Structure 1
Amino acid sequence: MAFFVSTFILLVTVAMANLLAQWVPISKNYLALGAGIVGALIPSLNQLVLPFENDIFMMLILAPLLFFEGQVTPMVKVSKGIPSILGTAFILAIVSAIVVTVGVHQGFAVGLPLALVMVAISTPTDATAFESVITGRKISQRLGDQLKMESLFNDATGLILLQAGLIWVKTSEFSFGQNLVKLLVSALGGALVGGILAVVFMIFRQALVRTEGNVISSQTLVYLLTPIIIYLVAERLDVSGIIAVVVAGLIHNGEANSSRFTAPRQMYLGTQLMNFSSEILNGGVFVILGISLERIVQSQHQKMFQSLDWLWLGLVIYGGLLICRLVYAYGFAMKRQWLNSWVFALGGVHGTVTLAMTFSIAGMVSTFWFRQVILVETVVIVLSMLVPTILFRWLLPRDGDALVKDEILARIRQEMTAVGIQRVQELDLPAAVKRLVIYDLQDQTKTNPLRSYLRRWRGIISHREAINFLQSRDQRWAMMQAFASERAFLAEQARQHVVDVALLHDVYTEVLMSEALVVDPYSRMV
């Protein structure tokens, strides 16, 4: 029961943060982070949310999220970017971890094993957190893809480095060769397991969809459970579950593009569920991060002011990793372009994967060092989000297109709706039918006031606006005529390049979905 109550509170918090983001010019992820902090400050709510559980977080939130992110990533980008992925997710991560570990050891007299543990936890980057810090800013597609690919694959590197550090703490022995072999086995094994299982699921679902026994609800459940099953199997086989679900997502991207029209209803439902789940999981990640950070501050506030070693350690680790990223970008990735090199370096944002790895070492190191690590990683997470948010205001141009997009969409919808209404008025139909159809068309621009809606609603439930079968058929036919005119208008706008085609596609899709609601025999709303 406690799990469901905790989940309910998290979901409500995510919903409130997403709603608030429509009126506040701040990234919705930052609002979710703030909502989590505020929720944790309210004792009655805080006690209802369960403590952070690393295994549950990785299995139920991170695995599906990375699976969906992999699914929207074309395989061709991965195949072309393999050298970049190997360079950033593995070579850069390992070299920077070694350099910063030695620096922490020399500068703070921290043992090398514990220094490696702290640095390894700070190694993984977070694509979702990066999206938050560039909200409202323009970034090149190539650089954005490179940072996203890095974040998809470097989690495994961080986890292996962390395991090596923990073994070093326990046994006082460290073997670079053995740990490198383990990293390769974990990464390649995860890719192999994820690929094989994804292909098995794909063949099963594609074979089923081509039979009369296909059931959309069952297919959808299999799809949603796929990342969880693959993650659990990979972890059970002692390979990287993270890489397994990423590879599975990439394979499913190819499947979706190869069978879009075999079962359109199923494909559309799966796409909408993927988008919905991704948005909720992204918000949930930052709500959990906010709650966890506030709880860390509450539980560690006395120690925080006894010594500031945790603060200096956090600053050095973040600064050291940032410098390593800058040197790598300038010398290799960005070909001596200072601006892009700085953007790449600052783009190494850390988030909930770092937090999950922090809590995973509970009981594996002394209580003193566990508390120290928690505070250090909190500093790293906060700095990695705060510093680029500030500096990108000078390094990246403002995304002016995003500012006028809503205005352009509103104008297009108004002109399009006027065309549809004009078409209805030209038809030889009863006045009552025309009135109902025009009201529905005006809903496309959200111009019908709430009072008008309530009057329409009362008329429908009281049967005052009931129409007979012939009028209902005429209403459906009139709506189809109106939608056809609207689509023709949008097509002409696209042909003349009046506005960006992507914006027209956005509105065109809404018209198609509206028409589907009218003509779909399975729709129970008409």
Structure 2
Amino acid sequence: MSTVFLVLLLIAAVVGANAIYARFTLVPVAFLQIAAGLLLSLIPLYRNFELEPEIFLLVIISVLMFNDGQNTNVRKLSHQLGTTLSLAVVLAIVTILIVGTVTHFLIPAFSLALSLALGAIITPTDAVAVSSITTKVSVPGEVMDTLENESLFNDASGIVAFNLAIAAVTTGQFSVMHGIGNFLYVFVGGIIVGLILGYVIVAIRIQLINMHVDTPSVIVPYTLLTPFVVYLVAEAAGVSGILAVVATGLIHGVQQERLRLTTSRLQIVMSTTWSIIASILNGIVFVLLGVSLPSVISHLQQRDTSSVAILVGIGILLYLVMTLVRFLWTQFDFAKIRAWDNHEKARNSLVLALSGVHGTITLAMAFSLPLTLGGHAFTYRNDLIFVAAVVILTSLLVPTILLPVLLPAKVDKVTPEDLAQAKVDMVTSAIHMIYARYGDTPNASEVIMILEGQRAVDGRPDRAQLNELFDQAYDLETHTVEQMVTDGEVTPQVAEKYMRVASQTRLQNQQSFGQRVILFFKFVVFGRWSWNRKARARRKAIHQIKTKGLSREQLIDRNRHVWDQMRAVEAKPYQAIVTFLNDSYATHNQQAVGIVRRAYDERHRRLSGTRDFQNAQNELLIQAFQLEYNFIQSQLATQKYSHALGNALYEQISTDQLVYLQSVNAE
């Protein structure tokens, strides 16, 4: 139970850091997650927290690598295959050898095998970490694609080299020829096993789709289990489980077109699920870094007070060595990146070198170091973890400072303001055309109500503006009901009952959070409102007199009759309010109008009861969405909208169409 609680706290820390980053993007999210981990380290439960190394490889690394593989653009990967292999395999091996040699020279206490293990740990780059520090700068597309492809395979290269080095540390023996042969067997064998398993798993999934067994409750768990199954099978065969997972992920990426033969709902659920899982797993690793750092530093200081300073210097030096090697590798065309001239080539090489950010895989491998060697505690485990942490932090800090100097600021192709305004125009056009074609028919009113929800925007509405709209809607409703009484459409008694409901709608929606809390205590703690006991007793007596002698069925009929009267009154004021809100709609009050409209729509749904025109309404809703598509096409044809803006709108319509049609069908 304590382990479950500890894991839940890790997830909560990730969520908290991500929530802060959503509002304050100046600091990379990785730093916020590390800070959250430092806070968790203050909790006594985490003082001796250890996560088994095998859990990192199986639960974290395998899942992340599979997700990276299935999201890789295979076409771009094939075009850059030479560059990718040069960076991810050849450069990774060269870097491991250089870092291992330098480390062994600087710290003779580290055997060569242990130094090479450190090189294998700190060599892999992390495209996710790169993305977190480049959100505000425009990285050349060729460079970013290269970084993403490199991180996919150099992770595997680093892990295979790391396993070989740890085996050498454990046994104390290492043969160059045996090491090369073992590397090829593990590397190539992992890819072959992954390809075979990938084809089998995809074939089964396609068969499930063809059999119409493609509900999220089946396909999503099936896909989530894939990296675990592939990893365990590959490890049992003695080959690289990580490379097998990557290969399986690539097969999923290649087969995406066939796997898209599923419902839109499943695609959205699948994409969202993987996005959330990858984000949480990446975040957990950085939180664990923050949790572990105080304990690691404490152990190092107990052994030697100068150890921490020395290891900080070693970590920074190794980062500089790796950055220099990366720069020279591309500058001397060992890995080619397209450039127009020597100046651009030098800039791309420098950006690629600085963007060699180390993150999740580096830290995960550091934590996967064995706790014991030969039955004794692994003496230098904390040293390696600390050096890896220094390299990670340095690789995050340096590009955060230097890349904004080297690269121009990122300019969004579509600003949130432009997208919001275009969506308002699109929905408004569809609403006007539906109203012109079908008028005030029940189907049209319901569809217009649904379309209104598309125009809502994020953020907090102006409270004064919101209250003013509710007041105006209530005044309009009062005037409409009074006119109905004058015209003899309803009796004064029924009108009075209806206006109580109308008044309640206004008061409930105008209350602030504090007022809602006070109202809650008035109802729950202090009794319903603050009237005295005599008033409550008097109302109870009147109610008993009115209902005396009535059976349960008669009381039900009486209540049903009251609600029927409410429905008869509500139709006309509701339509008046809808017309008023549509006429009042403008850019400056989108949020307030949307909230008021939803409040009255909800009351209308409650009072109007069930509907018997669902199929006709769905058909009309599909027409409305088609009108939105037509609007975008016309704007693109006249070049009023850019292609980027049009694509963004198309994507939102597709999502809205799925959500709204499902919600309507569920009613």
Could you tell me the TM-score, scaled by structure 2's length? Answer: 0.71
**Contact residue 215 and residue 266 of structure 2 kept, 8 A:** no
Aligned identity (percent) is 30
Partners of 1:55 and 1:244 in 2: how far apart?
A: 16
Q: Deviations over 1:435-494 (max 9, x none)?
A: 654443232232344853773476268x22546424x56654553343222221112223
Q: Tell me what 1:452 maps to.
A: 596
Q: Tell me what 1:100 maps to.
A: 99
Q: Tell me what 2:420 maps to.
A: 410
Q: CA deviation at 1:373?
A: 1.6
Partners of 2:248 and 2:106 in 1: how far apart?
A: 42
- Is 1:425 aligned with 2:425? no
Q: Tell me what 2:612 maps to.
A: 469
Q: CA deviation at 1:248?
A: 0.7
**Contact residue 13 and residue 33 of structure 2 kept, 8 A:** no
**Contact residue 124 and residue 154 of structure 2 kept, 8 A:** yes
Aligned pair partner of 1:363 in 363, 372, 377: 372
**Contact residue 124 and residue 361 of structure 2 kept, 8 A:** yes
Partners of 1:323 and 1:80 in 2: how far apart?
A: 26
Q: Which moved more, 1:100-109 or 1:117-126?
A: 100-109
**Contact residue 208 and residue 214 of structure 2 kept, 8 A:** yes
SS where residue 400 of structure 1 aligns?
coil
Partners of 2:178 and 2:161 in 1: how far apart?
A: 12
Matches within 5 A, 1:48-447: 51-110=50-109, 111-211=111-211, 216-261=216-261, 265-293=265-293, 295-297=295-297, 300=300, 305-307=305-307, 308-332=309-333, 333-334=335-336, 337-361=345-369, 362-364=371-373, 367-401=378-412, 405-430=415-440, 436-446=446-456, 447=590
SS where residue 148 of structure 2 aligns?
helix
- The one-letter amino acid of 2:244's match is A
Partners of 1:141 and 1:491 in 2: how far apart?
A: 28
**Contact residue 41 and residue 294 of structure 2 kept, 8 A:** yes
Q: CA deviation at 1:66?
A: 1.5
Question: RMSD of aligned C-alpha atoms?
Answer: 3.0
**Contact residue 121 and residue 159 of structure 2 kept, 8 A:** yes
Q: Give the 3 Å change call, closer, same or farther, for CA 153–479 of structure 1 in structure 2.
A: same
Partners of 2:432 and 2:42 in 1: how far apart?
A: 55
Q: Which moved more, 1:382-391 or 1:81-90?
A: 81-90
Aligned pair partner of 1:506 in 618, 640, 648: 648
Partners of 2:270 and 2:181 in 1: how far apart?
A: 38
Q: Deviations over 1:215-239 (max 9, x none)?
A: 5532332212111110111122221
Q: Which moved more, 1:239-248 or 1:334-343?
A: 334-343
**Contact residue 39 and residue 45 of structure 1 kept, 8 A:** no
Q: Give the 3 Å change call, closer, same or farther, for CA 498–17 of structure 1 in structure 2.
A: farther
Q: CA deviation at 1:65?
A: 1.9
Q: Deviations over 1:2-34 (max 9, x none)?
A: 343233333333333333333212366336524
Q: Which moved more, 1:299-308 or 1:157-166?
A: 299-308
Q: Give the 3 Å change call, closer, same or farther, for CA 12–195 of structure 1 in structure 2.
A: same
Q: Deviations over 1:189-241 (max 9, x none)?
A: 11001000011111222223223666553233221211111011112222111
Q: CA deviation at 1:292?
A: 3.5
Q: Give the 3 Å change call, closer, same or farther, for CA 148–408 of structure 1 in structure 2.
A: same
Partners of 2:242 and 2:91 in 1: how far apart?
A: 19
Q: Give the 3 Å change call, closer, same or farther, for CA 217–179 of structure 1 in structure 2.
A: same
Q: Tell me what 1:496 maps to.
A: 638
SS where residue 50 of structure 2 aligns?
coil
- Is 1:36 aligned with 2:24? no
Q: Which moved more, 1:299-308 or 1:4-13?
A: 299-308
Partners of 1:514 and 1:82 in 2: how far apart?
A: 38
Gap regions ≥5 residues in structure 2: 457-589
Q: Deviations over 1:321-349 (max 9, x none)?
A: 11111111111224762111111111211
Q: Which moved more, 1:54-63 or 1:426-435?
A: 426-435
SS where residue 255 of structure 2 aligns?
helix
**Contact residue 13 and residue 32 of structure 1 kept, 8 A:** no
Q: Which structure has more RCO (C-alpha within 8 Å, separation ≥ 6)?
A: 1
Q: Deviations over 1:117-161 (max 9, x none)?
A: 222211222121111121211112221121112111112322333
Q: CA deviation at 1:379?
A: 0.8
Q: Give the 3 Å change call, closer, same or farther, for CA 202–475 of structure 1 in structure 2.
A: closer
Could you tell me the TM-score, scaled by structure 1's length? Answer: 0.89
**Contact residue 104 and residue 316 of structure 1 kept, 8 A:** no
Over alpha carbons, which structure has the higher Rg? Answer: 2
- The one-letter amino acid of 1:101's match is G
**Contact residue 40 and residue 294 of structure 1 kept, 8 A:** no
Partners of 1:255 and 1:302 in 2: how far apart?
A: 54
Q: Which moved more, 1:332-341 or 1:198-207?
A: 332-341
Q: CA deviation at 1:413?
A: 1.1
Q: Deviations over 1:270-291 (max 9, x none)?
A: 3343334333333344333443
Q: CA deviation at 1:419?
A: 1.0
SS where residue 401 of structure 1 aligns?
coil
Q: CA deviation at 1:513?
A: 2.8
SS where residue 328 of structure 2 aligns?
helix
Partners of 1:194 and 1:134 in 2: how far apart?
A: 32
Q: Tell me what 2:626 maps to.
A: 484
Q: Give the 3 Å change call, closer, same or farther, for CA 476–205 of structure 1 in structure 2.
A: closer
Partners of 2:44 and 2:243 in 1: how far apart?
A: 39
